[in-house]
Structure 1
Amino acid sequence: MPRNPERRILLADAGLRVLAVGGARGLTHRAVDAEAGVPVGTASNYFPSRAALLAGLAERIFDRMAPDPEVLAALSRREPSLALVTDYLRHIVERTTREPELTRALFELRLEASRRPELRAALGEVLRRGYADDVAFHVAAGLPGGAFEVALLHHAVDGLLLDLLTTSIDAGYDVDRVVSALVSRLVGRADTAPAAG
């Protein structure tokens, strides 16, 4: 396996662009090579199968979607509150809509994972790790709510992003108002959460 991590990142980023624009059907090694501007066969050297390519994209997308450390540092200096949870969520929505193709690529990966068991395993591991990290961060920061509320926010924000970045229901509500309502209604009622399991 080639050991040039910069080239692997270049190819994975090109693959995410191909996936966002052409969907899973358009994602081929040759299309990734063309998008990355590298010789034909390069993507196959780094990702020898379609499954390996998809798994590589699943890993790379979460590196690309990582929160801005400076924003997190500024937010972490504040007292835990519903307002702080709202601002964390605003940051999530802002950074995931700033590069809509990246978020669309994630939707494509999730859809493709529903059809491919090998991708389902790889992407599922990445998604579960991300959720566990989010819960650990939430708890360590002393924010209101817990694992259940973080899961509710994931479900709600995924739906919001799907609506913002695909064909919308066009309900006409301001995104900031929606984010505030999600936090107040989902986290503000944390005492009514059902037990896990």
Structure 2
Amino acid sequence: MVVATLLPVPTNPERRAALTDAGLAILAEEGARGLTHRAVDDRAGTPRGTASNYFRSRDALLEALVARIGERLAPDPAVIEPWARRRPGRALMRDYVGYIVERLTREREVTLALFELRLEAARRPEVEQLLGTWLREGFAADVAFHRSTGMAGGRREIALFHYALDGLMLDRLTTSIDAGTSTDAVVRQLVDRLMPD
């Protein structure tokens, strides 16, 4: 009887980042159906088989893409840490929500890839489990940050902001119902209407 040995997964962080960034670009441009190990290698400019060496299965690749989305969309601590010392209120919430929208807009490809993964999660329970866990952990962190700053409102208000911002980003990154209204104006109105005095 021959026992197969598994080769260790390569750990070069720069190569891993390049592969996952290529995967996110494919998701943003072609959707989940275009996401294959071969397509990732082609997009990253790596030899065929490289993506398979780093991510042994499609599920492993998807898990790595979710982690990379988290890395690329993570807030800069130097920006948000000083907010904990600011006076709670609408001005602080406007800055907070505006910063979220700015990051999602700046990282357009990553945000579109995230929307594609959310659509894939509606079709595949294993993706729903992976992405759902990640989304709920992010939401819990948002609620904890909101509480740490002492801003009014709570879990429900933060959920309403998530729902509104998801819709706003879908509108701004795809086909808009009202492209003439500035995103900053929408953010101000959302905060003023959703945040208690």
Q: TM-score, normalised by structure 2?
A: 0.91
1:1-197 equivalence runs, <5 A:
1-170=9-178, 172-188=180-196
State the one-letter code of the partner of 1:145: G
Deviates more, 1:50-59 or 1:130-139: 50-59
In the aligned structure 1, how far is the partner of 2:21 from the partner of 2:40?
9
In the aligned structure 2, how far is the partner of 1:62 from the partner of 1:187?
26
Contact 2:83 2:149 in 1 (8 A): no
In the aligned structure 1, how far is the partner of 2:129 from the partner of 2:16?
21
How many residue pairs match? The answer is: 189
- For residue 5 of structure 2, what is the aligned residue in structure 1? none
Report sequence identity in percent.
61
1:42/1:168 CA distance change after superposition, 3 Å: same
State the one-letter code of the partner of 2:130: A
1:157-193: CA deviations, max 9, x gaps? 000000000111126322111111111211227xxxx
Stretches of structure 2 lacking an aligned partner (at least 5 in a row): 1-8
Contact 2:37 2:49 in 1 (8 A): yes
Stretches of structure 1 lacking an aligned partner (at least 5 in a row): 190-197
- For residue 4 of structure 2, what is the aligned residue in structure 1? none
In the aligned structure 2, how far is the partner of 1:77 from the partner of 1:11?
39
1:56-77: CA deviations, max 9, x gaps? 1111101100112222134333
In the aligned structure 1, how far is the partner of 2:121 from the partner of 2:62?
9
- For residue 192 of structure 1, what is the aligned residue in structure 2? none
In the aligned structure 1, how far is the partner of 2:40 from the partner of 2:130?
20
In the aligned structure 2, how far is the partner of 1:10 from the partner of 1:43?
10
In the aligned structure 2, how far is the partner of 1:75 from the partner of 1:142?
10
1:72-128: CA deviations, max 9, x gaps? 134333211111011100011011101211111110011111111111111111101
Q: TM-score, normalised by structure 1?
A: 0.91
Runs of 4+ in structure 1 over 4 Å off? none
Give 1 or 2 for the bigger CA radius of gyration.
2
